[in-house]
Amino acid sequence: MRFDIVTIFPEFFGALDVSLLGKARQAGVIEVGLHDLRDFTHDRHRTVDDTPYGGGAGMVMKPEPWGEALDSVVREDSVIVVPSPAGHPFTQREARELSTREHLVFACGRYEGIDQRVIDHYADRNEVREISLGDYVLNGGEVAAMAIIEAVGRLVPGVVGNPASLTEESHEDGLLEYPSYTKPALWRERAVPAVLLSGHHGAVAQWRHEQQLERTRRVRPDLLSPDLLSTDGSGEST
């Protein structure tokens, strides 16, 4: 898989050189291209924004630099991701979907956003996804793009050493994950739930599923649908 990122702050993505994604890049499992939007301007001040038609506060990102920048990286099979407060909510399901695609192009907007004609132009040619990480506003798309790249990148085969660890995570089965414990068995007078020390794998699986349901009911009742309310460990509806 290849990620191309267009931004006015390419240095922001230096973090992609470290940790998991850094190793995956060295292994060639994923490629990352960084592109400075200002390299696609032609005036002395390398201008990327201007005042909004119709008036109002703030500035809008000009269409010309974006057109030249995206033309230089977008392929026929590219999915263009635009992190935006006006996007649809990002989920683990979408992360899984995106992890199966060959080429993701991230358009990191700033200011009040990108001239709408850029989105409309590329939506005629490519899949364009305006994605929100949550109902709050950041100064630009870079932080959101980093989060999406990590959520997607870690699902790409070969990036995470033990793929089994990807299945027992929050949101993988539609529920929040169960609480985890490790040694010591007693810590500040707090013991580990006895069932986890019992060696009885069936009882452990049942307890973990019950914990997932309880935690999801308590913290994220919005995630629960009737078929997820089953109580046996299978996750099948009863």
Ligand X SMILES: COc1cccc(COC(=O)c2cn[nH]c2)c1
CA angle 215, 217, 221 (to 5 degrees): 125
Among 65, 83, 103, 126, binds ligand X (CB under 6 A): 83
* 29 CB-contact burial (10 Å; exposed 0-12 / middle 13-18 / buried 19+): middle
Instruction: Quote the tokens at residue 187.
Output: 């810590």
User: Residue 98, interface with ligand X (CB under 6 A)?
Assistant: no
Binding ligand X by CB under 6 A: which of 144, 149, 175, 196?
144
List the one residue out of 65, 79, 78 whose CA is nearest residue 37.
Answer: 65
The contact pattern for ligand X, residues 39-78, with x = CB under 6 A and - = no contact, is ----------------------------------------
> CB neighbours (10 Å) of residue 163?
11
Whether residue 32 is annotated as binding a ligand: the answer is no
Q: Are 78 and 133 in contact (CB under 8 A)?
A: no
Does position 153 bind ligand X by CB under 6 A? no
Contacts with ligand X: how many residues (CB under 6 A)?
16
Interface residues with ligand X (CB under 6 A) are 82-85, 109, 113-114, 132-134, 136-138, 140-141, 144
Binding residues: 109, 133-138
As annotated, the binding site for S-adenosyl-L-methionine includes 109, 133-138
